[in-house]
Amino acid sequence: MIMLWAVFLPVLAGVLVLALKDMEGNRRVLTAAFTAVLTAEAALVILAVMRGGSVTLWRLTDTITLGFRIDRMGGLFAVLTSVIWLLAGIHSTAYMKHEHDERRFYGFYLIVVGVLSGLDFSADLITMYVFYEMMTLTSLPLVLHELTKEAVFAGLKYLFYSVAGAFLALFGIFFLANICGDLQFAAGGILTPEMAAGKEGILLFAVFAMIVGFGTKAGMFPLHGWLPAAHPVAPAPASAVLSGVITKAGVIAVIRVVYYVVGPAVIRGTWVQTVWMVLTLLTVFMGSVLAYREKVMKKRFAYSTVSQVSYVLFGLSLLQPAAFVGAISHVIFHSVIKDALFLFAGAVIVGTGWTRVEQLRGLGRIMPLTLAFYTLAALALIGIPPASGFVSKWYLAAGALASGTGVFSVAGPVVLLISALLTAGYLLPITIQGYFPGQDFDGREIEERNLAGKEPEPAMLIPIGILALASLLLGCFPGPILRLAQAIAETVF
């Protein structure tokens, strides 16, 4: 029951917010209710995950049922999602003051978190697909929010890429539904070689289509084009969750397909694994290079997401326990870090109106504390010990070396290293220029607009602070996360 509440409470609340026109003038009640629902959602999800269990919703056909079941993998993602959603939501109550159509934003923001918990709790591939599609459609208004030409274009791009990806995946689902019977998730896969006898070629093709299809949401090359367009045009808190959490929905979908339905053994050593590794490494490298060249702050973070999420996918593609642990922990760390970065961008935009990286010179005079939090998160993303990114990358590299995938076991760590250097190259200049603008820096604008020392308001600053500190602390004490990831890894291999 609790898990149903965790899925449907935010959806109902969101629909209610959208339906109640009177809320428009009553900002205080609106934000209070919004925060309350998000807090309740986080609590419900945690409770539901602790309880576990399963529930069947509907029998669609004789073999296909819609239902929820909480396992460790889904529970991990659900808790991560709801907590981050709460933090970004608190930030948004301050950020959205400066935007139009607050009510619509809150409404859809609530609906999406319900849909995402549904996705994480799904007991089988069909249910997951249902929620996956709903997630695309309900998160679209967040991208479209500004309703500028650019936003609409980005929204359409987002929609078409997502839909194309989802239907590539649907092709695979249809195939698997026929050879597996039902598609209930089970750790290690439900497919046995006898099921696919005579159809191995098509099976591999279908699995590949599903990886590429679900990989769309995770920004994997070749269907990554929407991500740098769609994430930056949304309001900053939405960008944060789009980049930090919704990309992970693509990741969990890929995990479910590869590790919970097909089973890693089926694709190990086949062309699918090889192509997958090539694609992810390409994405890692390309994302970093593009981020390095990008001058608009939020776009830079978005390209960084392209690169970082493919770290996770690369870890998954190795089909090796240590790399799997690295991938899972990187999911958590990247969510935390990337949300901190985007919320930082939101605070900067609200406080100063600056959007381009070169404008950020001297930011340290305006909001030194916020910039310090940013620096913490940036260091964690680069992977400087003891911050969190180091731990996951260490496992990824170790896994790659032990994976026995020939040239990739060496090429992988090399690409990761180059990408880490690029990450430092595109994140740290903001810190350096912010605190040490140099001799030629002209601080007149800061004085004229009376910006000096103006930290963002607490509702923005506190989430950024929590996330930034978390990115450091999770790296110092990674034990619980690693143990959980290892426990999952033991079941799937």
Partner 1 sequence: MSFVQNFPFFSIIIAMFSGIVSSVISGKKARNLSLAAIAVTTCMSAAVLAFTWRTGESYTYMMGHFPAPWGNEIRAGVLEGLVALMFGVVMFISVMGGLDHTEKDVEPGKLNLFYIMIDLMLSSLLALVYTNDLFTAYVFVEINTIAGCGLIMIRQWGRSLSAAIRYMVMSSLGSGLFLIGLSLLYDVTGQLLMIPAKEAVAQIAASDTYVIPMLVILAVISVGLAIKSGLYPFHYWIPDTYAYATPTASAILSGLVSKGYIFLLIKILYRVMSPEHLMEGYTLDVLYWFGIAGMMMGSIHAIQEKDTGRMIAYSSVAQIGYIYMGIGLGTLGGTTAAIFHIFSHGATKALLFISAVGLYEASGGERDYLSLRGAGYRNPLAAIGFTVGAMSMVGFPMLSGFISKLLFATSAFENTGKLLPTLIALAVSTTLNAVYFLRLVISLYRPERKKVGGVRRDSWNLRLAVVCFILLNLVLGLFSQPIVRAIGQGLEMFD
Binding site for partner 1 (CB under 8 A): 58-62, 64, 126, 129-130, 133, 140, 144, 147, 152, 155-156, 159-160, 163-164, 167-168, 170-171, 174-175, 177-179, 198-199, 202, 206, 209
Of residues 56 and 178, the one with the C-beta less far from partner 1: 178
What is the rounded (10 degree) CA torsion for 327, 172, 203, 59?
100
Instruction: Give 126-182 as a DSSP string.
Output: HHHHHHHHHHHHHHHHHHHTT-SHHHHHHHHHHHHHHHHHHHHHHHHHHHHHHHHSS
Of residues 169 and 337, the one with the C-beta less far from partner 1: 169
- Minimum CB separation of residue 77 from partner 1 in Å reads 21
d(CA 161, CA 219): 10
- Minimum CB separation of residue 108 from partner 1 in Å reads 12
Q: Are 72 and 488 in contact (CB under 8 A)?
A: yes
Q: Which two tokens stand for residue 31?
A: 């934000």
Of residues 160 and 441, the one with the C-beta less far from partner 1: 160
- Minimum CB separation of residue 318 from partner 1 in Å reads 28
- Minimum CB separation of residue 173 from partner 1 in Å reads 9
Q: Name the residue with tokens 């990115």.
A: 471
Of residues 15 and 64, the one with the C-beta less far from partner 1: 64
- Minimum CB separation of residue 330 from partner 1 in Å reads 31
Of residues 45 and 176, the one with the C-beta less far from partner 1: 176
Of residues 79 and 212, the one with the C-beta less far from partner 1: 212
- Minimum CB separation of residue 52 from partner 1 in Å reads 25
Q: Which two tokens stand for residue 30?
A: 């609106």
Q: With the C-alpha atoms ordered 70, 73, 76, 79, is the resulting torsion angle positive or negative?
A: negative
Of residues 225 and 386, the one with the C-beta less far from partner 1: 225
- Minimum CB separation of residue 460 from partner 1 in Å reads 28
Phi then psi for 5, rounded to 5 degrees?
A: -60, -40
Q: Which residue, among 312, 18, 293, 277, has the nearest Cα to 138 in the 3D structure? A: 18
Rounded alpha-carbon distances, angstroms, from residue 421 to 11, 382, 388, 434: 42, 7, 16, 20
Residue 442 falls in which region: left (phi positive, over 0), alpha (psi -120 to 50) or beta = beta
Q: Name the residue with tokens 């919004």.
A: 34
d(CA 311, CA 308): 5
Q: Which residue, among 302, 289, 290, has the nearest Cα to 341 in the 3D structure? A: 302
Q: Which residue, among 247, 249, 243, 260, has the nearest Cα to 302 in the 3D structure? A: 243
Of residues 19 and 265, the one with the C-beta less far from partner 1: 19
Of residues 177 and 398, the one with the C-beta less far from partner 1: 177
- Minimum CB separation of residue 263 from partner 1 in Å reads 21
Under DSSP, the state recorded for 245 is I
- Minimum CB separation of residue 184 from partner 1 in Å reads 16
